[in-house]
């Protein structure tokens, strides 16, 4: 008697989200089975890796990571290009930190112009995240969407308190939005409902479930993402069928086990090796729980994750 592999039956499917236009258009999502379960259903698009690029030099990065980007810290365009040409990024995640009133208070117009300049200088899709008060982020993303009209950029982020402004801008200029939720399936669904009721197409939404790095938090994050995927694929819940993005790099590189030097903690071994392992394992956990886009930082961790994706694929 031959062995039959037991298989789940899925009634739902993840939406296909398109990033970029023309020759650089990249599709994410579209899977009709749990992560990497291609023996159970179609998984047409691989997860993609976006590398972070900041609008100014980061002040809190340890030397073991900043050494890879120190020559381009003063130029986001060169930083983005290097991340693609040397480190094989599938997309660029531009972090607009200077829009924060406490970090320069860059105007929405200047931030939008910077995002356009970066987008036009690369041959990969662009993701844009803002930092600061939600009201300022909303105003910035409104201008960012206008300046990048019809380019299918992905803008982060919307919450219940600011979704109308950013969603309206995405609809007006044909771009996409990141819906941020605090690791809560019901709140994720509610925000997606609000966005679609406003008129934003469900295939223009990516969910960010608030990533967490290795440790206790990652178990909670994994569980929430897993529940979202099960609801989407097995229960055919339309409001959980948006692709997932994990903005995990900042979470990984702020923890003590990664930031502390070998001098302070010699028993922990190589600081760089710690950081690479911490980021790789965290990202692998996110991939296995269902992420479609993952934002990373260390080039060697990026390389490892790409190899893992290739092997599992």
CB 60 within 8 A of CB 249: no
Superfamily covering domain 16-312:
Dihydropteroate synthase-like (3.20.20.20)
β-sheet bridge partners, residue 16? 29
pTM: 0.96
- Asked if pLDDT for residue 161 goes beyond 90, the answer is no
β-sheet bridge partners, residue 29? 16
Supply the pLDDT for residue 14: 98
Supply the pLDDT for residue 6: 85
- Asked if pLDDT for residue 160 goes beyond 90, the answer is no
Cβ-Cβ contacts under 8 Å for 107 (sequence gap 6 or more): none
The per-residue pLDDT of the chain, averaged, comes to 95
In angstroms, the Cα distances linking 194 to 132, 191, 235, 253 are: 23, 5, 20, 33
Name the CA radius of gyration of the chain, rounded.
19
Tens digit of each residue's pLDDT (9 = 90 or more) over 57-104: 999 999 999 999 999 999 999 999 999 999 999 999 999 999 999 999
Q: Residue 306: which H helix or E strand, with range?
A: helix 299-312
Tens digit of each residue's pLDDT (9 = 90 or more) over 5-27: 888 899 999 999 999 999 999 99
Helices (H), 41-200: 63-66, 76-85, 108-121, 134-147, 163-173, 185-198
Question: What are the extents of the domains in the chain?
Answer: 16-312
Omega within 30 of 0 (cis) for the link into 157: yes
């Amino acid at each position: 008697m031959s062995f039959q592999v037991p298989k789940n039956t899925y009634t739902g499917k993840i939406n296909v989200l398109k990033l970029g236009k023309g020759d650089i258009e990249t599709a994410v999502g579209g899977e009709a089975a749990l992560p990497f379960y291609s023996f159970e259903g179609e998984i047409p698009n691989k997860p993609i890796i976006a590398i972070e690029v900041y609008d100014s030099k980061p002040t809190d990065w340890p030397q073991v990571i900043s050494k890879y980007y120190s020559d381009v810290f003063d130029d986001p365009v060169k930083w983005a290009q290097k991340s693609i040409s040397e480190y094989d990024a599938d997309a660029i995640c531009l972090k607009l930190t200077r829009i924060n009133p406490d970090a320069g208070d860059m105007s929405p117009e200047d931030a939008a112009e910077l995002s356009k300049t970066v987008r036009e200088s690369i041959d990969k899709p662009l993701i844009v995240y803002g930092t600061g008060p939600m009201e300022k982020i909303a105003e910035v993303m409104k201008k960012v969407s206008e300046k990048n009209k019809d380019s299918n950029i992905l803008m982060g982020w919307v919450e219940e308190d600011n979704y109308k402004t950013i969603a309206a801008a995405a609809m007006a200029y044909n771009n996409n939005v990141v819906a941020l939720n605090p690791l809560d399936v019901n709140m994720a669904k509610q925000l997606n409902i609000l966005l679609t009721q406003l008129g934003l197409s469900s295939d223009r939404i990516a969910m960010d479930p608030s990533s967490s790095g290795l440790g206790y938090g990652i178990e909670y994050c994994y569980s929430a993402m897993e529940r979202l995927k099960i609801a989407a694929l097995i229960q055919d819940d339309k409001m959980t069928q948006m692709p997932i993005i994990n903005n995990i790099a900042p979470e990984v590189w702020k923890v003590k086990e990664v930031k502390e030097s070998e001098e302070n903690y010699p028993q922990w071994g190589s600081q760089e090796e710690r950081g690479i392992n911490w980021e790789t394992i965290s990202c692998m956990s996110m991939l296995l729980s269902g992420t479609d886009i993952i934002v990373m930082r260390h080039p060697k961790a990026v390389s490892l994750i790409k190899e893992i994706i290739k092997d599992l694929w």
